[in-house]
Chain A
């Protein structure tokens, strides 16, 4: 039987929506798909959205998650919003560096600094 658990936690602040991934490992395609559906659902409910994706709990991910982030990013920017990532642990940040996705994503130390300057 497949395990049912919350994969994201959503927090609405004045200037942004913060989505925190609750899984420690994001690996399998079906997990990535479920996660993408959950995130896209939040994005599509809003108009232009300032979205912060918080990786505080995430200790491991595969390249499929990078694809998810790129798809979410496209959707957010097409709708006139902004996407910021935060709380990425050093091992995972290395993956972003190797793939040069540090040039694509705005990455912040934590949710507080990611919130700065958003209107």
Chain B
């Protein structure tokens, strides 16, 4: 029996790759407590890692003086996460498809694709420096 009360949290994180470790652990624990499946937890974990790394590397361009804002709400049936960096943003339509033959052997550029594949709703703000992503709890098969 997991908790049914929605939980919301907002945190300002340093712009370095390992800075989201603790909040990520907390999110995964909340999901587990609410009976989310291992597939849901894997999906949210992956999307969160990819979104945070994108914010640090591509958004804030490795500038440790910048910050990343992370907000989440977890309820009984969905988890919503928002990651905001202090960069110039990007145009989603200009992101090359890593599955195309010319890009298949490139060692990077798969984060956005994975976020879209594992989350049910993904949208960016107009500037492109904030991503909001939602995953709905799957019913057990």
With contact pairs A100-B104, A103-B104 given, residues A63 and B50 touching in the complex (Cβ less than 8 Å): yes
B114 within 8 A of A: yes
Please encode chain B, from 33 to 53, with 1 for each CB lying within 8 Å of some chain A CB and 0 for all others: 000001100100110011001
Give chain B residues whose Cβ lies under 8 Å from the Cβ of A71: 107
With contact pairs A62-B49, A99-B98, A100-B99 given, residues A67 and B17 touching in the complex (Cβ less than 8 Å): no
Q: Is the interface of A mostly helix, strand, loop or mixed?
A: helix
How many of B's residues come within 8 Å of A, CB to CB? 22
A-B contacts counted at CB < 8 A amount to 50
Give chain A residues whose Cβ lies under 8 Å from the Cβ of B38: 91
| Bound: A33/B40 CA distance, A | 28
Interface pair B105/A30, CB less than 8 Å apart: no
Q: What 13 additional pairs, Cβ within 8 angstroms, besides A60-B45, A67-B108, A91-B42?
A: A30-B18, A60-B46, A63-B111, A63-B114, A67-B107, A70-B106, A91-B38, A95-B46, A95-B114, A98-B114, A99-B113, A103-B104, A104-B104
Interface residues of B (CB under 8 A from A): 17-18, 38-39, 42, 45-46, 49-50, 53, 98-99, 104-108, 110-111, 113-114, 117
Interface residues of A (CB under 8 A from B): 27-30, 60, 62-64, 66-68, 70-71, 74, 91, 95, 98-101, 103-104
Return 30 A-B CB contacts under 8 Å, by A number: A29-B53, A30-B17, A60-B46, A62-B49, A62-B50, A62-B53, A63-B50, A63-B108, A63-B110, A63-B111, A64-B53, A64-B108, A66-B107, A66-B110, A67-B108, A70-B105, A70-B107, A71-B107, A91-B39, A95-B114, A98-B113, A98-B114, A99-B98, A99-B99, A99-B110, A99-B113, A99-B114, A100-B104, A101-B104, A104-B104
